[in-house]
Structure 1
Amino acid sequence: MKHFIWFITAAILVFGASNSVIAEGGGSCSKLCTFVLKNSRTSEYTVINRERAAKQFTPFSTFKVPNTLIALDLGLVENLLQELTYNHDKYPAKEWWPTIWLERPLTIREAFQNSAVPIYQQLATEIGAKRMNQYLAGFNYGNRNASSGIDTFWLNESIKISALEQVDFLERLFTGQLPVSQSAIDKFKEVMLVEETDAYKLLAGQK
């Protein structure tokens, strides 16, 4: 039987570990970071810095998980080979943008693995505020607050989510407990797939 291993590397940055180190052997984490691991069989948590793990922060790049799932469920992204772009007038290039965001249209897998912000802003706009709010409520995602703007609310604005809530959300996703189609979940797992062996599949989101 294959086991799924999933990990969002961006969560480390979102919750402040970019300049912190967790000591070998599971030593205590500084006040600027947190780590959460949940055993899906026993529902037991392994937590470093529980106070910070329970505090809600802006999701930034990790919001590409629900954003991708919603776009797949609605059929805005019909297949994994569909080329995606964005309104270049509305979202003009910035100096810090990676070249890959600019040089050509991207598939949803490429957009996901490269955290292509303007493509996700375009998708969120196409999803629209009403449908986005419905999905956020159905997902029980953080504070479910998208009021600050449909294409910016996850970029240090209104929506907030804790590390514990992120892990619970991912568990609901991969155990089929979210109100989305199985087709959307199957495609999403392909989007996240970065490594596969006979024993396991590694699903991850970078940056």
Structure 2
Amino acid sequence: MVLFSQEIYKLITSALTELSASQVSGRTPQNPLSEAHYLGAWVTTAMKQKRFDSVVLETLKGWQRQARSLGKNAGLKRQFIYLEKCYSQVLNAEKQVQPVSVEQLNALYAALTDDQWMVTTDLPVGDKLNRHSGGKQSLIVCAEQISTCFDSQGTLIKPISLYIRGTQQEIIDLAFAQDLLLYKITDYKSKVKYHGEFIVYPNNDGTALPEFPIDSSEQE
């Protein structure tokens, strides 16, 4: 089975390596417009040639749309460089996925508690849960999921939902600091009233790009 995280990392690094080789050879000038043209064409060619597994096809289509509608403002090179950096943190030295452990999630809960979030992990969520947080930012994780999503060694074996009401980027950043990737399902409406839903997958491997910390180069 081809894993999204590994395949997208292979795609990104291939694109950047081949762009660099084209520039070294003199075929592609070293300027933002030429780089945008190269990567836009590279993405389209990769799709036509079915060069990568279908698990990354929708992501490729999204980049193709960006390249066609935004041109150099799509910032594909910047995106690829940043994604390479982020994935390098959560993949191992051989660029393979790594297990997610209960200790990582517990460390996230502790970091949020230190930041004055209300963290609730002892309630079942069911079809609908209304949990009052007294104005605090709130994270809720279903107690039943916690009891069934980890094996006896504390390794995540099934996707687990995190219900969030608060500054989403803060929890994304704190999760990433624990090498956890959050995948957004909803911003607001979910089984928990006023909370959005994010998922942590086994091996940090979903079927699309997760949420990452904000790329600081975009703010320069």
TM-score over 0.5 for the pair: no
Question: Which one scores higher on RCO, CA 8 angstroms, separation ≥ 6?
Answer: 1
Rg larger in 1 or in 2? Answer: 2
| Structure with the bigger percentage of helix | 2
Category of TM-score, reference length = shorter chain: under 0.3
